[in-house]
């Protein structure tokens, strides 16, 4: 039996930011229904890869396909809103929330099919509250007054307030206390049970270990390793070579 086609694939993707050549022929495959970790040292090109997928920085050459259809690359010029409407949600490193608006209004804006909160699927909203109870508590608070962890929860909640086929999440644990990171891991594990596909950039190897099914490691704008997360977890020498770390120090 042949393997199911990936939900997202990048083939030979090159991205420039101004005169700087950042991605040097990225090849990446994201299996449907799994969490794929995108790892690498700072400056390896991970964030640029996510932004290129979303059309925020267009690929100058190569091909990006989602659900079998081209969304970026040579000869393709979909806008970021058009890409999002295909069923991709993006949680940027800076969280992308509206600080002056309430938690409620942040979620309402993210629910494209809803004009009022009552239009949001009640069961889904309750599920989000079960993942992130603080969002119910601070429902009418300005998002800018939330703690860093609560802002990250809101950012993820905005991405999942409606069903999405693929989530791109950029370093969700950055700057968060360990207890908040564990809460986030628990929520993303529950999200895994819904068969939502996730491409997750993360520097916290313990979080990657807890969530990842497959892994791609980037270096200097290229994917230099692909495989199962479990195999990388078991191979300390490979971790050291690819990431300059070991589980003994980052368990």
Q: Locate CATH 3.40.50.300 in the chain.
A: 1-87+167-177+184-251
- Cβ neighbors of 208 (< 8 A, separation 6 or more) are 37, 39, 200, 202, 215, 229
Task: For 1-87+167-177+184-251, give the CATH class.
Answer: alpha beta
Q: Is the pLDDT of residue 233 over 90?
A: yes
Cα-Cα end-to-end distance for the chain: 37
- Cβ neighbors of 82 (< 8 A, separation 6 or more) are 55
**Higher per-residue confidence, 155 vs 77:** 155
Q: What does pTM read for this prediction?
A: 0.91
Per-residue tokens: 94 = 């800076």
Q: Which residues of 141-153 are buried (b: 16+ CB within 10 A; e: fewer)?
A: eebeebeebbbbb
Q: Which pLDDT band, with edges at 50, 70 and 90, does 120 fall under?
A: confident
Average pLDDT in the 211-240 region? 94
**Higher per-residue confidence, 44 vs 118:** 44
Determine the pLDDT at residue 88: 95
Determine the pLDDT at residue 83: 96
Q: pLDDT per residue over 81-97, tens digit each?
A: 999 999 999 999 887 89
Average pLDDT in the 151-170 region? 92
């Amino acid at each position: 039996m042949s393997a199911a086609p990936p939900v997202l694939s990048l083939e030979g993707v090159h991205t420039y930011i101004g005169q700087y050549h950042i991605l040097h022929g990225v090849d990446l495959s994201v299996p449907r229904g799994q969490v794929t970790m995108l790892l690498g040292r700072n400056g390896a090109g991970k964030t640029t890869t996510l932004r290129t997928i979303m059309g925020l920085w267009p690929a100058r050459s190569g091909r990006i396909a989602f659900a079998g259809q081209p969304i970026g690359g040579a000869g393709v010029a979909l806008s970021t809103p058009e890409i999002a409407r295909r069923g991709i949600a993006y949680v940027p490193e800076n969280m992308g929330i509206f600080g002056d608006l309430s938690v409620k209004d942040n979620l309402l804006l993210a629910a494209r099919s809803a004009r009022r909160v009552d239009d949001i699927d009640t069961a889904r909203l309750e599920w989000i509250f079960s993942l992130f109870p603080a969002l119910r508590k601070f429902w009418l608070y300005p998002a800018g007054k939330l703690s860093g962890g609560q802002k990250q929860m809101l950012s993820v909640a905005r991405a999942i307030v409606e069903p999405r086929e693929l989530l791109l999440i950029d370093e969700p644990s950055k700057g968060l206390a360990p207890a908040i990171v564990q809460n986030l891991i628990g929520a993303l594990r529950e999200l895994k049970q819904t068969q939502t596909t996730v491409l997750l950039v993360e520097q916290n190897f313990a979080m990657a270990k807890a969530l990842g099914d497959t892994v791609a490691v980037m270096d200097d704008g290229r994917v230099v390793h692909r495989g199962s997360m479990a195999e990388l977890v078991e191979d300390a020498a490979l971790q050291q070579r690819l990431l300059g770390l070991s589980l003994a120090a980052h368990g």
